[in-house]
C-alpha cells in the first residue's frame, strides 16, 4: 500500500500572517537530566549513556492555523435548528472513506467553483460521486502555502456547489487553498463594494442549515489520481473545539 501525505508541516514560518503563526519550543535532552535529578534520582543511578529525553511544547497554534478539518460548530452554533457538532463530536466514520479529486486548477483567483464546474469535470472524466465519499478540491494554490499572501489568493467553492455536494451525500470535503470560500480579504472587499450581506462567508454558512465538515490547507493533491484511493482525516480530539489539526493521508494499493 502506498500512503501519500496531504498535510502541511507544523512549524514556525515567519511569512505566515499573525493569525496563522505557529510557535513550538523544542527542549534538548540535557534539560531532562536536571528534572530527573530534582525528582530524586541521583546522577550515579542514571542509566549508562543516558543524556535525558527530548521534549517539545506547542506554545502557540490556532486550530485553523495549519492543515485542519472544520466542525459544524465553526460555521454556526446551530445546524438545522439543533446544536452544531464540535470537533470531538464528529463521527469517526465520516473521517475515512473513498476519495475523489475534483481538479479545478484552471479556475483563476476569485472565480468561484460552481455546480456546473464540478458536474462538467465529473462528466468529462467519467467519474461519479457516491454518498460518504471524501471529496478533495484541487486548485493548485498549495504552491503558495507558507507565503505571506497565501490567504489572499485563490478560488473557492460557492455556496451553491457546497449545497450540491452535501445533497449528494458528501459529509467531508476539502481544498488545498487557505480557505473553503473565496479569499477572506476579497470577500470583505466585495461585500463592502456591493453592500451585499449575502456575499461574505457564503459557503461556510451553508453549515447553518446542512451538516458537513471541510478541510482547508491540504497539500500534494497533484500526487493523487482522480479516484481509486482512500482518505483518512482523523482530527485531534479537542473537546468543544470548532476545528482541529489533522494528519490527512491518502492510501492506494
For residue 84, CA distances in Å to 44, 87, 251 come to: 56, 10, 30
**Domain layout of the chain by residue ranges:** 23-60, 68-252
Q: Are 185 and 162 in contact (CB under 8 A)?
A: no
pLDDT band at 17 (very low <50, low <70, confident <90, very high): very high
Q: How many helices (H) and strands (E) would you count in the chain?
A: 5, 13
Q: Which residue has the cell 486550530?
A: 63
pLDDT in tens, 114-170: 999 999 999 999 999 999 999 999 999 999 999 999 999 999 999 999 999 999 999
3-state secondary structure of 144: helix
**The model's pTM:** 0.94
| E-only strand ranges, the chain | 2-5, 23-27, 55-60, 68-70, 78-79, 82-83, 96-103, 134-138, 172-175, 213-216, 229-232, 243-245, 249-252
Among 75, 57, 55, smallest CA distance to 10 is for: 57
Q: Which residue has the cell 475515512?
A: 96
**CATH code matching the domain that covers 68-252, chosen among 3.50.30.50, 3.40.50.410, 3.90.1150.10, 1.10.260.40:** 3.50.30.50
pLDDT digits 0-9 by tens, 28-61: 988 877 778 887 878 888 888 888 889 999 999 9
Amino acid at each position: 500500500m502506498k500512503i501519500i501525505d496531504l498535510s502541511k508541516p507544523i512549524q514556525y514560518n515567519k511569512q505566515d500572517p499573525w493569525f496563522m503563526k505557529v510557535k513550538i519550543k523544542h527542549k534538548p535532552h540535557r534539560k531532562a537530566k536536571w528534572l530527573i535529578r530534582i525528582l530524586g534520582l541521583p546522577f550515579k543511578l542514571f542509566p549508562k549513556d543516558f543524556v535525558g529525553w527530548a521534549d517539545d511544547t506547542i506554545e502557540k497554534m490556532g486550530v485553523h492555523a495549519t492543515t485542519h478539518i472544520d466542525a459544524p460548530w465553526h460555521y454556526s452554533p446551530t445546524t438545522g435548528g439543533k446544536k452544531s457538532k464540535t470537533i470531538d463530536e464528529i463521527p469517526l466514520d465520516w473521517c475515512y472513506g473513498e476519495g475523489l479529486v475534483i481538479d479545478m486548477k484552471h479556475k483563476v483567483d476569485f472565480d468561484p467553483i460552481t455546480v456546473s464546474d464540478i458536474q462538467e469535470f465529473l462528466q468529462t472524466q467519467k467519474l461519479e460521486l457516491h454518498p460518504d465519499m471524501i471529496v478533495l478540491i484541487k486548485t493548485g494554490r498549495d504552491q503558495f502555502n507558507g507565503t505571506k499572501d497565501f490567504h489572499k489568493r485563490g478560488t473557492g467553492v460557492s455556496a451553491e456547489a457546497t449545497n450540491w455536494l452535501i445533497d449528494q451525500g458528501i459529509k467531508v470535503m476539502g481544498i488545498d487553498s487557505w480557505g473553503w470560500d473565496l479569499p477572506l480579504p476579497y470577500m470583505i472587499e466585495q461585500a463592502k463594494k456591493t453592500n451585499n450581506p449575502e456575499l461574505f462567508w457564503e459557503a461556510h454558512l451553508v453549515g447553518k442549515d446542512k451538516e458537513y465538515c471541510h478541510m482547508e490547507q491540504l497539500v500534494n493533491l497533484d500526487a493523487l489520481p482522480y479516484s481509486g484511493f482512500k482518505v483518512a482525516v482523523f482530527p485531534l480530539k479537542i473537546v468543544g473545539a470548532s476545528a482541529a489539526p489533522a494528519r490527512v493521508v491518502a492510501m492506494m494499493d
